[in-house]
Copies of this chain bind each other. A is one copy, B any other.
């Protein structure tokens, strides 16, 4: 399996999980939170999946395609370890779907960052909210959900807030 193969597989798994999350969150009221904008491709996909939801995006420094930059009032600029704590007052328990793809290419660093972020992310999730995540998450407040068809376990992750 080449790096091109595994990259395509990962993107397909990511997309399948995000698409599946639409059904999983249909009954919930609230907002979507994208943890990391990057080039904006996933944000653009979330916009297409959740046309009726406000989508907030955390990013240190915007470097996305100009068509994929969120409006300033929903862009949370800065280091997520600081901004997520500050966002609790306004976003606390309002998030129905959060997506985490820290995607540095370094699996151990991604895992470590995810572990740092989770205590800040979980309080933003409403009960029943879904977390779609590239790194595996270990949290007593999150239940791992079955993956959609075609996604091999471990390739991407889905959780429900208890």
Measured CA separation A159–B38 after assembly (Å): 34
Contacts of A105 in B (CB 8 A): 65
Q: In chain A between 1 and 32, which residues have their CB closer than 8 angstroms to a CB of chain B? A: 1-5, 7-8, 11-12, 14-15
A47 at interface (Cβ–Cβ under 8 A)?
Answer: yes
Q: Could you list 30 examples of A-B contacts with CB < 8 Å?
A: A1-B48, A2-B41, A2-B44, A2-B45, A2-B47, A2-B48, A3-B40, A3-B41, A3-B44, A3-B45, A3-B65, A3-B67, A3-B68, A4-B11, A4-B14, A4-B15, A4-B41, A4-B42, A4-B44, A4-B45, A5-B15, A5-B45, A7-B11, A7-B41, A8-B8, A8-B11, A8-B12, A8-B15, A11-B11, A65-B105
Q: This chain: how many copies in the complex?
A: 2
Measured CA separation A11–B6 after assembly (Å): 11
Contacts of A2 in B (CB 8 A): 41, 44-45, 47-48
Measured CA separation A8–B9 after assembly (Å): 9
Contacts of A65 in B (CB 8 A): 3, 105
A interface residue numbers (CB < 8 A to B):
1-5, 7-8, 11-12, 14-15, 40-42, 44-45, 47-48, 65, 67-68, 105
Measured CA separation A105–B45 after assembly (Å): 18
Measured CA separation A42–B47 after assembly (Å): 29
Q: How far is the CB of A62 from chain B (nearest CB, A)?
A: 15
Contacts of A11 in B (CB 8 A): 4, 7-8, 11
